[in-house]
Amino acid sequence: MIDKILILDFGSQYTQLIARRVREAHVYSEIKPWNAAETDLLDTETRGVILSGGPLSVVAPDAPKIPAAILQSNLPILGICYGMQALTVQLGGEVAPAQEREYGLATIQALVPNPLLPEGELTVWMSHGDRIKRQPAGWQVLARSANSPIAAIGNLEQRRYGLQFHPEVRHTPQGALILQRFVIDICGCKGDWTPASIIAQSIASIQQQVGEAKVLSAVSGGVDSSVATALAQRALGEQVYSVFIDTGLLRKGERHQVETAFHPLLGERLMVVDASERFLSALQGVTDPETKRKIIGETFIREFEATARQIGQIDFLVQGTIYPDVVESQGIGASQAQRIKSHHNVGGLPSDLHFKLVEPLRLLFKDEVRAVGEALGLPHSLIWRQPFPGPGLAVRCLGEITHERLDTLREADAIFTQELEQAGLLQLQEDPSGKLQGTSQAFAVLLPIKTVGVMGDQRSYQEVVALRAVTTTDFMTADWARLPQEFLARVANRIVNEIPRVNRVVYDITSKPPATIEWE
């Protein structure tokens, strides 16, 4: 039985970060909306509850409430920002609008020795408009800031705490330590959420779901589908049939790379289907990204169905869906959560799906998936290859998709990747000072515009390539990679000199949020 921390989501943009930080302490975390049925909230594995922040004011008439089942339990509770204010109001304290709102970095002073906060001054990240005017009876003020006389509160006997600041963000340097103290020291979690335990739990879950049935596993060559397939094979053995579909939307040389990497692992149980013309035909004239994703999702399924008919009766399909896919496709947490984009294997699936989905990675972040892959013994080259979206180049070829535009994009992407590899920038590494160097994900994007240029003393009117490179560990948030100017100049020169249909290269310097990593 694995210990669990329940994270109750009140709509904060940082809720998924809370889950990520808890898992960094090797404790499993699960997010549920504040208005979930009370019978679905707590179970015997739950060791504590974290209440997230949120965009609303607790003094509003329709403000979300903490469920009674949470407050009436004997579990430790940590309220963050809105969660702290909701605790205060529902336990008899008082919250009022702050005279001076706090957004950004602030310094708090710890006032009372306690198991949660380090002693002395702490730099923290504030983001709130209300503040605590009076703490509930039996609660102590644990810290203050210049604009928040009550920056942290606690009832040490009941093991319940509230923080006005956000410990989950990197801008709070000791935030990870604070969350670790809560889940390990205060909640008593064993810290048993490890790759070995994830593998054991996943294998048991797959075996229980599938039984003796045959399974089709979708292999794309990316880390997610590779690890999902490896888990399914570990659980089911020869019940698993793997299929790789060449959509015509792959990177340069990708089909050969996938076959070379997977044949030693899968042998004759790897089936390669060339469906490139069928995919490109279905996408002809389509420019809307959501429509592209849904067409690709349905075409994938139809190809899987056709392959399944060749094998025999197959009821299950293994997919490499991971946590960020789910969050961006359908949202979790607050009921008002908006869909960012329909991932082809989540929001893009057809309504008449004939398979039952097996998704062993659905609750894992990317770095957790890689750790599981390494524990399964998959090749390093597979685990650490550049991530590639399921819809492939369709969501990097903005506008209309044609053979010619795809070829242009493939060449530009290959040049970028080659130069990154030669410069030692193709993977993310930490230098001695702790600064991240290199890239977590990098690729080229072909834009649906043309610009005027001068090439060989003649006017040109050609397409534009955008380069995108980010650094991230969880893929929920990301920063743009600070690649050297000399490097970018070399890549741009190669692209415009070697690809006749391109005369301009730009570099994307937007973080996530507000942007997503992919352009579509």
pLDDT tens per residue across span 282-306: 999 999 999 999 999 889 888 988 8
| pLDDT score at 81 | 92
CB 48 within 8 A of CB 187: yes
Flag whether the pTM goes above 0.85: no
Domain 4-186's class? alpha beta
Lowest mean pLDDT among 158-162, 358-362, 365-369, 441-445: 365-369
For the segment 90-139, what is each residue's pLDDT rounded down to a tens digit? 999 998 876 666 667 889 999 999 999 999 999 998 876 678 889 999 99
DSSP states of 169-204: STTSTTHHHHHHIIIIIIT-------HHHHHHHHHH
Contacts of 368 by beta carbon, 8 Å cutoff, 6+ apart: 23, 195, 198
Domain spanning 396-507: which CATH class is it, in words? Answer: alpha beta
Helix, strand or coil, per DSSP, at residue 141? strand
Sheet with 240-246, side-by-side order of all strands: 270-274, 240-246, 215-219, 316-318, 356-358
Higher model confidence: residue 153 or residue 222?
153
Among all chains, which residue has been given the structure tokens 């139809």?
302
Of the chain, the end-to-end C-alpha distance in Å amounts to 40
**377 vs 417, higher pLDDT:** 417
Mean pLDDT score, 236-258: 90
pLDDT in tens, 45-99: 999 999 999 888 888 888 999 999 999 999 999 999 999 999 999 999 998 876 6
pLDDT digits (tens, 9 = 90+) for 461-492: 999 999 999 998 777 778 999 999 999 999 99
List the single range of 8-22, 67-81, 112-126, 250-264 with lowest mean pLDDT.
250-264
The predicted structure's pLDDT at residue 433: 67
pLDDT mean over 222-230: 89
Catalytic machinery residues: 81, 166, 168
What are the boundaries of each domain within the chain?
4-186, 195-383, 396-507
Per DSSP, 275 falls in state -
Mean pLDDT of the chain: 88
Which of the four pLDDT bands, split at 50, 70 and 90, describes residue 325?
confident
**In the block, which residue shows the tokens 């685990």?**
383
Query: Beta strands of 34-159 (E only): which ranges?
Result: 46-51, 77-80, 94-110, 121-134, 140-145, 152-155
Class of domain 195-383: alpha beta
Residue of 320, 404, 421 lying closest to 363 (CA atoms):
320
pLDDT band with cut points at 50, 70 and 90 for residue 332: very low
**Residue whose token pair is 């741009």:** 492
Lowest mean pLDDT among 184-193, 232-241, 352-361: 352-361
Q: Tell me if domain 4-186 and domain 195-383 are identical in fold.
A: yes
- What was the pLDDT predicted at 312? 84
Which pLDDT belongs to residue 387?
83
